[in-house]
Chains A and B, each alone.
Chain A
Amino acid sequence: MSKLAELAISAQGVTVSRGDTLVLDGASLTVSSGEVVGLMGPSGSGKTTLLAVLAGLLVPTSGDVSIGGDSITRVGDRRRSAIRLAKLGLVFQGDELLPDLTIEENVSLPLRFGRSAIGSTTDSREMVRPVLEQLEIDAIAERLPEEVSGGQLQRAAIARAIIHRPLGVLADEPTTSLDGEASRNAMSLLIGLARASGSAVIVVTHDDAVAAGCDRVLTLSDGQLRSPLRDHRL
């Protein structure tokens, strides 16, 4: 039983084709709670696609994905979304925040819409503030997304991904717009916070330093996931 519960994210034989190209060709992986997995691969290899499948944003042509034991490939959009809301936190490439909400309100979204929805604004504030402090963006909590810097935006997105202590965190490192230093810092912060709350983490990165902080690194090429370190050892 405990073994099963520890299996936070699992994917079996996931195949996805977009247009004419077969982006994922039977990719499989399992990530247990508290484990941090780095995902690497050349541009266009399908890393973002894989994260989208794991998050239930994209339904694979074949294969199965389950989060915390619940399959998200064999259910409808409602159930899939509910699972994502309750058990996953996402940090995606590109701007992710709603332009009309303040940073604090953006971060509080998973709490406000969650099944165990918290009652009032003050409740959410009590839960959000400490996380903002940890990410050092509490000073800009009342600002709108267009009034803050790119790095602050990314940290706000991270805060939103972990605010509800999800079972799994999926992060897609932006390849542009941020310098390596800031991005590395943000990813390290994410990994640290997720580890502290016992979440499983899959983080897409191009940065060896970030990869070094992961428990395990997988490489995506030709639609399949490989484990370079293990290969190296062998």
Chain B
Amino acid sequence: MRAYGWLALRSVVGRDGRWGAVVLALGAALITFGALVALAVPQVTQAQERRTDLLTPRIDLSERSQNQPGLRTFDPNVDLGRRWEGHQITRTYFAGNGDVSDLGLRKLPARGTVAVSPALKRLIQSNDIVADIYRGKRISATIRDVGLVEPHELRSVEQVASGLPLQYPVDGFGITAGPNQVFDDGNGRLNAVVALIAAVTIVLPSALLLWIVTRLSAPSRRKTSIVLHRVGLSRRSTWTIAAMAGGLISVPASVVGCVLFNIVVNRVTAIPGSNFGFFADDVSLPAWKQTIATIAVSLLTVCAFAFASKEMGPRRPRRRWLPMGLRVAVLTTGIALLCATSLLVRAVGPNVGFTIWAGIGLTGLGFVLVAPAVVRMVSDAWAKRARSAGTLVGSKLMVTHRSALDVGSLLGVCVILYLGSLSFMSILQGGNSDDWNARISRQSHIPFTVNDLADQLTRGRILKTVPTAKLVSLSESKGGFPVVYGSCADVEGISSNELVGCTGHPQQIVIGDQPAEKVPDSLTLGDGTKVSEVGVLRPLHARNVPQEFHGAILVGAEHAPPAGAELSSTFYVVVRSPQLVASMARIGSVTPLPQFDLGPLDYHNPATTRFPKQLACIGLAASIGLVIGALGVAGLIAAEARRRSRQLRGLRILGSPRSQLLLAHSIATVGAFVCLGLASLMLGALVAWTFTSIDGRAYVSARPYIAIVAALLGLSSLVVWATWRDAQRSIGRSSGIVA
């Protein structure tokens, strides 16, 4: 056994195996890290759900409790999340008094002041829009960790007047799992899809990396096995030695990955590039989980290593396990499904959108099956037309390594999946902010409506915070008849149309030719004024005003109901488009429960995103997968460089000039990758287009395409440069030809 260990160690540190060992070690460490992250994510999610529950006020919704003294808050169901400049802020409002130590505060902040989390405090100082939300309020306290779901959470606690609508007595904090917990099964399905995407984006590059490393070192390992077998070691013994060599690399590397995870978890409190944070306690995994993950990754790498060296004797020519026709059929079916999806969705409806997943799967699979053959065809065609020796040799050499072609096509699938997931993420995000900004700036003015569930908004208060706004409000008269408050100019501002025949006296608004509801003889307006003989008023024909105005009586703004009149108003506001977000933020500083509606624009608005955590998870998985994949490519480059330099040395001996050598080398090294890259980009674009056609929010800008092309060109140049230097060195070293 000692001899086995000795030999395994020597083969790991030996010159031939060293490169592979470094890549494998880095890979095993990263894969362990990725596996632990994958394990930690559901745990963090659970812990944060528990924390969220603990911070949720227990509300007594019963009628009888309405007049009890003590702490009150709003019914949490009315709070619709909106993100401000990409930040999700949890604002909580309390009235009355009571113990708020469970929220991480010593006492409830006084009226006009606000208690904020540390992250929110920083954000208020740095972000004007967020500062606008808290306009006119002084920060009086900082929320301690107990009151936060995660360390970077943006949370504020404010005191509001008691007696507002929808306020209920709080009888403590922390809901226990039970019948009153909201069960959201729509998210459950989404979470499954997200988990699948995250797993694929980590597993695929990991498998690729392992495959590359073991395949690349396989020839020398196999040779070692053959030699040892001839000396008199049984196949099982040579296998054991190979496995031990793998273990010598992967076991320490996995342990390093595990240690790294623990260090990172204790140092880092948020996913880089996102505001998805976590407490160290929530993310740290129990020892047994870490041990199992580490052992599993080690075992996997050991087995991959050992199997790579197991194949002995001359290699049988690989049998085509799928005839070409069938392979092409898989690819064309995939593409056809993608094309059909958009047609189907248009014809049948969004329910058939699931075919896109089958289309993506088949397209990816078909790409792996067909792409190498296509590249070979390209190389043949190229070689036939080649005029210079360099092109001829290059185009021939470009397809000599089947494994490089296979790896290249797998990377192509990664590109396809990457572009596809960008579209999917854009949908999750509720649109892309580039797309949204473009849509906004296409209009000079943006209309939006505000409903105030807390009845704090009045015309005057809105105009005080947003003086440039055009504003009309709609509410019902005491008798339940709709009344629009505003001047003729205000309505013209809303509709951006001239109002012909507007007198400034009460008039009934009529849209188009529809008959309006009969007006009662007298109305009591918001301020208590009585208007009589309304029935004989001249109708006011208006265009391009909200549909709700139809049949409503237009009266002067001075009759609008005052705050707290319990006549809930809808405000129609128009602002200049660059001031849109700031205006909403300022209105948000006046009332705790404003509800904004941007109409069809909201559908594309990334600020209404509901799934920031899912996005952060996919983002994290994609970045880990990207690093693992890049590592695999690096390993491939290193090995290709060594192989290629040997072939070039042969060319040099045949007497090719250096320029032809470089040409041959460039084509041979990157030709296949460029072909595969372009093909996968086109298929990725097809996937993105399909997503866009079934959901307008799946907007993908040209940027990722440019980035991929740039990365492809950059990587190609790097490969040529790195391998060329290596080749030159070995060509120059003519005496280096030994045996």
How far does the alpha carbon of A57 sit from the alpha carbon of B220 in the complex, in Å? Answer: 19
**Scoring A residues 78 to 108 as 1 if CB is less than 8 Å from chain B, else 0, what string do you get?**
1011111110101010011111110001000
Check A57–B230 contact: CB distance below 8 A.
yes
A99 touches B230 (CB 8 A): no
Interchain CB contact under 8 A, B739 and A90: no
Q: How many residues of A contact B (CB 8 A)?
A: 35
Assuming the contacts A98-B224, A117-B3, asked whether A81 and B15 have C-beta atoms less than 8 A apart, the reply is: no
In the bound complex, CA of A70 to CA of B614 (Å)? 67
Q: Which B residues from 235 to 292 make CB contacts under 8 A with A? A: 235-237
Q: Please, how many angstroms separate the alpha-carbon atoms of A78 and B235 in the complex?
A: 7
Identify which of A146-154, A213-221, A226-234 touches chain B.
A146-154
Q: In the complex, A84→B739 CA distance in Å?
A: 27
Q: Which residues of B contact A (CB under 8 A)?
A: 3, 6-7, 10-11, 13-17, 220, 224, 227-237, 738-739
Does any Cβ of B come within 8 Å of A160's Cβ? yes
Query: Which residues of A have CB within 8 Å of B13?
Result: 100
- Specify which of B16, B220, B227 lies most central, judged by the most chain A CB atoms within 10 Å of its CB: B227
Distance of A146 Cα from B235 Cα, bound (Å): 26
Q: Which listed residue, B16, B17, B224, B230, touches A55 by the CB 8 Å rule?
A: B230
Q: Find out whether the CB atom of A86 lies under 8 angstroms from the CB atom of B232.
A: yes
A161: nearest chain-B partner, CB-CB: B231
Given contacts A77-B236, A112-B3, A146-B738, contact A100 B230 (CB under 8 A): no
B237 — which chain A residues lie within 8 A by C-beta? Answer: 81, 113
Tell me whether A99 and B739 are in contact (CB under 8 A).
Answer: no
Specify the main secondary structure of chain B where it touches its partner: helix
**Residue contact B17 to A95, C-beta cutoff 8 Å:** no
Known: A95-B739, A153-B739. A105 touches B233 (CB 8 A): no
In the bound complex, do residue A99 and residue B14 qualify as a contact, i.e. CB atoms below 8 Å apart?
yes
Question: How far is A83 from B227 in the complex, measured between Cα atoms in Å?
Answer: 16
Q: Say if the beta carbon of A60 comes within 8 Å of chain B.
A: no
Please name all residues of chain A whose beta carbon is closer than 8 Å to the beta carbon of B15 when the two chains form the complex.
Answer: 99-100, 144, 146
- The distance in angstroms between the C-alpha atoms of A219 and B10, with both chains bound, is 42
Bound-state CA distance A65–B17 (Å) is 37
A109 to B11, CA, bound (A): 14
Chain B CB within 8 A of A177 CB: yes
Q: Is the CB of A150 within 8 A of B236?
A: no
Chain A residues with Cβ below 8 Å from B231 are: 84-85, 90, 109-110, 113, 160
Nearest CB of A to B15, in Å: 7
Do B3 and A105 touch across chains, with their CB atoms under 8 A apart? no
With contacts A81-B237, A113-B3 taken as known, whether A96 is within 8 angstroms of B230 at the C-beta atoms is yes
Say yes or no: B738 contacts A90, CB within 8 Å.
no
Contacts of B233 in A (CB 8 A): 81, 85, 113
A82 B234 Cβ-Cβ under 8 A: yes
Are A100 and B232 in contact, CB atoms less than 8 angstroms apart? no
Closest residue of B by beta carbon distance from A164 = B232
> Across the interface, which residues of A come within 8 angstroms of B3, CB to CB?
112-113, 117
Q: Which residue of B lies closest to A113 (CB)?
A: B3
**B14 CB contacts on chain A under 8 angstroms:** 99-101
For this complex, 12 residue pairs linking A to B, each with C-beta atoms less than 8 Å apart, are A57-B229, A77-B236, A82-B234, A84-B230, A90-B230, A98-B7, A99-B15, A100-B16, A114-B232, A117-B3, A146-B739, A149-B739
User: A168 CB to closest chain B CB, in angstroms?
Assistant: 12
* A130 to B: closest C-beta gap in Å: 20
Query: Which chain B residue lies CB-closest to A150?
Result: B739
Q: Tell me if A105 and B739 are in contact (CB < 8 A).
A: no
Residues of A within 8 A of B11 (CB): 98, 100
Q: Which residues of A contact B16 (CB under 8 A)?
A: 99-100
> Complex Cα distance A78/B230, Å?
13
- Complexed CA–CA distance, A160 and B232 (Å): 12
Q: Which residue from chain A places its CB closest to the CB of B6 in the assembled complex?
A: A112
Of all chain B residues, the one with the shortest Cβ separation from A144 is B15
Q: Is the CB of A81 within 8 A of B739?
A: no
Q: Which residues of B contact A97 (CB under 8 A)?
A: 227
- Bound-state CA distance A95–B6 (Å) is 22
CB distance from A194 to the nearest CB of B (A): 17
Q: Known pairs A90-B231, A117-B3. 12 more at Cβ < 8 A?
A: A81-B235, A84-B231, A88-B232, A98-B7, A98-B10, A100-B10, A100-B14, A110-B231, A113-B3, A146-B739, A149-B738, A149-B739
- Are B232 and A85 in contact (CB-based, < 8 A)? yes
Give chain A residues whose Cβ lies under 8 Å from the Cβ of B232: 81-86, 88, 110, 113-114
From 37 to 92 in chain A, residues with beta carbon under 8 angstroms from any chain B beta carbon are: 55, 57, 77-78, 80-86, 88, 90, 92
Q: Name the distance in Å between B23's Cβ and chain A's nearest Cβ.
A: 17
- Look across to chain B and name the residue whose beta carbon is closest to the beta carbon of A105: B10
Closest A-B pairs by Cβ, 6 of them: A85-B232, A100-B14, A81-B234, A84-B232, A112-B3, A78-B234
